Chains A and B, each alone.
Chain A
Amino acid sequence: MVTRLALDARSLFTAAEIEARTNRSPLVEAEHLLLAMSAHPATDAGQVLASAGLTHEALERALATEFEASLAAGGVSVSAGGPPRPSPGPRRRLRLSASFKAAMERSVTAAAGSRQIRPAHLLLGVLGAQAGTVPRALRLAGVDRAGLATLTRQALSG
């Protein structure tokens, strides 16, 4: 079975890569895909996120909070200036992380029977993670992941 990637879903991949580079990450992670969705409010996924108050800025804040909380769990606090910000790497293809690939696999499953993989399918894939940065950031921001997934399914069927 080959399911095609919708055009706006494809452009989210490029946007996720830019988010990764902006965040000085050597890999494109699931959270970068989520950030990319929030920056594209015209997509079905972007609309679901916006309806839950998850703007790009709100997500960035949630991810920063998760990073600080996790460092604190490891006994480390970042100075007032925040974590170091080295110059970004050169523009080139970044490799996909395990969290990104797992989200993709869940998206393909969620899109089974559909003509193409929509951004909302990608969002379902990202929301399907049980552990790791995305579910932690959403939990710390007080977001109900299951509720968000229900909204996403409604957006897909509506």
Chain B
Amino acid sequence: MPALEIDPTSGPADGLAAVVALRRLADLTEDAEVERAMRSGWSWPQVAEALGVTRQAVHKKHAQRLIAAGVDLRRR
């Protein structure tokens, strides 16, 4: 059977695109909010606890970007 010709804006396509868009929004929100917390003086353990992840995970994901953005991360 040949693959179904799909409409990229049909019901199922909308539903799957919603997943992609919500993931992207969640990622953008995480990046922006971690940045805001660290600029407000939060520590890595505090941010990690608020997000429900390990300190290592949040540090690994965000430290380089925040340093590049000029956030002072000493003694956190």
Footprint of B on A, CB under 8 Å? 24-26, 66-67, 69-71, 73-76, 78, 83-91, 130-133, 135-136, 139-140
10 shortest interchain CB distances as A-B pairs: A74-B18, A87-B69, A86-B31, A70-B21, A84-B32, A135-B8, A70-B17, A90-B68, A86-B32, A73-B14
CA distance A40 to B38 in the complex (A): 38
What is the interface residue range for chain B against chain A?
Answer: 20 to 34
Q: Mark B7-45, 1 if CB is under 8 A from A, else 0.
A: 011000111111111101101110111110000000000
A33 to B27, CA, bound (A): 21
CB neighbours of B16 from chain A (8 A): 131
Interface pair B9/A140, CB less than 8 Å apart: yes
The prevalent SS among residues of A at the interface is loop
Judge whether B59 is part of the interface by a CB distance below 8 angstroms. no
| Bound Cα distance from A140 to B14, whole angstroms | 12
CB-CB under 8 A for A86 and B21, given A70-B14, A136-B13: no
Residues of B near any A CB (own CB < 8 A): 5-6, 8-9, 13-22, 24-25, 27-29, 31-35, 64-69
Instruction: List A contacts of B67 (CB < 8 A).
Output: 90
Whether B64 pairs with A139 at a CB distance below 8 angstroms is no
- Which residues of chain B are near A73, meaning CB under 8 Å? 14-15, 17-18, 21
Q: Which of B6, B31, B33 is the one whose CB lies under 8 Å from A131?
A: B6
A89–B65 contact, CB under 8 A? yes
CB–CB A24/B31 < 8 A: yes
